[in-house]
Chain A
């Protein structure tokens, strides 16, 4: 079947490549053909690294044929949100204002992928300056959802979401300041993992909100996210936010099962409007987890309702601190929504910011106490399917709500506290748009999050579905 390699997981490709049934050159060539074919519809990429990808593929093919196999990412194609520095490749940050910026060094993540033998095939489109949850981009064009090209891919890592869902990349990297890995992953029907803050280096990644930014994988299965985390996690003295903690093998306990795992479901999640089809899919997922041996516990998390306020002040202020000089110089060149958010942040005071940081302390403490009672928190990822491009409000059944608070309703809490959180597919809306399930864990306990996700994935087939128009 044409393009079959483009829908293999990294884990599947690793078996084919290590056993020499398939060459990295075949894999890369097939992906490049698919990218070329689909880009007019999806607009996932900003730059395609055709020549360097083919050169790397040939070098890795020789290495593998010569008997050196580096591990499960050897020869596997990776695409990066266009905020990860790659030496000699423009880093646009999703804006033509930045199109001439060419880094002279690699981000740490890029070096780690290179050590693992992964092959960089291109840099992916994003919401301008990674500052928005829809995947709109007035400079490079909007990203389109492979499940319905008239719908948002989500943001800000929208190109990462659409590329993985449509078979344009096996692995994509995203960043997540208020949900930017998890939102497009959920809307595009793939797996997205935001690791614990400090787990993966951000050195050489364009910042948006220093105290909230995370980077992580966007892939098709939970196991792939564990494989990628194995490759990219670890302390980096070049990143002031990096934390020197032991890095386990994240694949080791994946299949241990979830008997006795305590799954907390915050009652406050459902104080906010959720589309009935999303609620129903999450309820079915919880039943599935219970069948697998988990204990489902309703829990109270009162401070959750403050997540939007705390996150808004922290994120908008930090982003504004980084981009205010640029917006004052080149405001009319920004896309309008991004411009207004950056400018608006200049009106928050130091007092507001410190008040939000104090509230954040309370938020972290309350979440820690809550998670003494449960092992993971589970709930909806996004309260609706992907909205149509251009929509500014979302119909959530009982209520219409603005698109930004809707898409970030369940994401921001885990940027505030830095706890690990993952989304994986758990159903579809009546209009056949993917629904995501969020699983969050204690800090540094990604293994538990991954184990619960893997158990759910093994018991269901949501992750095997492909966008009909792009199968």
Chain B
């Protein structure tokens, strides 16, 4: 389940694992951006997707 209320500590842990320099002052700008993105995506988790397969664009050759 997506966390729409990511703490600063969680953010920095993930940022570190992604290769960001977590001491860079830029992290102060990135943290609210990530929180906003998580909030923007949260409604997807309200949808009932039982038995719904992903929409993919791949078509096997010759189809």
Whether A346 lies near B18 (C-beta < 8 A) is yes
Any chain A CB within 8 A of the CB of B38? yes
What is the CA–CA distance of A352 and B44 in the complex, to the nearest angstrom?
9
What is the predominant secondary structure among interface residues of chain A facing chain B? helix
Cα distance A39–B56 when bound, in Å? 42
Does B34 contact A347, Cβ atoms closer than 8 Å? yes
Q: In terms of DSSP, what is the predominant structure of the interface of chain B?
A: helix
* B41/A312 in contact, CB under 8 A: yes
- Cα separation A347 to B45 with both chains bound (whole Å): 16
Q: Is A360 an interface residue (CB 8 A)?
A: yes
Nearest chain B CB to A91 CB, angstrom units: 24
Render B7-43 as a binary contact track against A, CB cut-off 8 A, 1 for contact: 0000100110011100000100110011011101111
A359 and B41 alpha carbons, distance in the complex (Å): 11
Contact with B along A291-316 (1 / 0, CB 8 A): 00000000000000110111011001
Interface bits A228-245 vs B (CB < 8 Å: 1, else 0):
000000000000110000
List, in ascending order, chain B residues with CB within 8 A of A246's CB: none
On whether the beta carbons of B49 and A362 are closer than 8 Å, the reply is yes
A347 touches B41 (CB 8 A): no
- Find A347's partner among B14, B26, B52, B56 (CB 8 Å cutoff): B14
A348 at the interface (CB under 8 A from B): yes
Determine the residue in chain A with the shortest Cβ distance to B43: A309
Q: How far is the CA of A358 from the CA of B55 in the complex (A)?
A: 6
Question: B19–A328 contact, CB under 8 A?
Answer: yes
Bound-state CA distance A341–B40 (Å) is 13
Contact between B54 and A336 (Cβ–Cβ < 8 Å)? no
Tell whether, in the assembled complex, residue B42 and residue A336 are in contact, meaning their CB atoms are under 8 Å apart.
no
Contact yes or no, B43 A360, CB < 8 A: no
Query: Is the pair B55, A361 in contact by a Cβ cutoff of 8 Å?
Result: yes
Decide if A309 touches B30 in the complex (CB within 8 Å).
no
A362 with B43, Cβ < 8 A, contacts A316-B37, A343-B33, A344-B37 known: no
Given A331-B26, A346-B18, A362-B52: A312 and B45 within 8 A (CB)?
A: no
Q: A360 to chain B: closest CB distance in Å? A: 4
Closest-by-CB residue of A relative to B18 is A346
Chain A contact residue count (CB 8 A cutoff): 38
Instruction: Please determine whether B34 and A354 come into contact, CB atoms closer than 8 angstroms.
Output: no
B20 partner residues in chain A, CB cutoff 8 A = 328, 343
Contacting pair A360 B42 (CB below 8 A): no
Contact A344 B30 (CB under 8 A): yes
Does chain B have a CB within 8 A of A335?
no
Q: Which residue of B lies closest to A346 (CB)?
A: B18
A364 touches B45 (CB 8 A): no
A306 to B52, alpha carbons, bound, how many Å? 16
Please pick, from B11, B30, B44, B56, the residue contacting A313 in the complex, using a CB distance under 8 A: B44
Bound Cα distance from A81 to B32, whole angstroms: 32
Return A146 CB to nearest CB of chain B, in Å: 32
Q: A336-B29, A344-B30 are in contact. Are A355 and B45 (CB under 8 A)?
A: yes
The yes or no answer to A385 lying at the interface (CB within 8 A) is no
A47 within 8 A of B: no
When distances are taken between beta carbons in the complex, the residues of chain A under 8 Å from B26 are 331
Contact at B18–A306, with CB atoms within 8 Å? no
Inter-chain contacts of B54 with A (CB < 8 A):
354, 357-358, 360-361
**Known interface pairs A347-B14, A347-B38, A358-B55; A309-B44 also in contact (CB < 8 Å):** yes
A311-344 interface code vs B (CB 8 A; 1 in, 0 out): 0110010000000000010010000100011011
**Of A210, A312, A359, which contacts B40 at CB under 8 A?**
A312
By a CB distance below 8 angstroms, the chain B residues around A352 are: 2, 41, 44
Are A358 and B49 in contact (CB-based, < 8 A)? yes
A361 interface neighbour in B40, B52, B58, Cβ under 8 Å = B52
Closest 9 CB pairs of A and B: A357-B54, A360-B55, A361-B55, A309-B43, A340-B33, A358-B49, A344-B33, A312-B40, A344-B37
A residues touching B (Cβ–Cβ < 8 Å)?
A: 197, 210-211, 240-241, 305-306, 308-310, 312-313, 316, 328, 331, 336, 340-341, 343-349, 351-352, 354-364
21 contacts between A and B (CB under 8 A): A240-B58, A305-B43, A309-B42, A309-B43, A309-B44, A340-B33, A344-B30, A344-B33, A344-B37, A345-B37, A347-B14, A356-B44, A357-B54, A358-B52, A358-B53, A358-B54, A359-B49, A359-B52, A361-B52, A361-B53, A364-B55
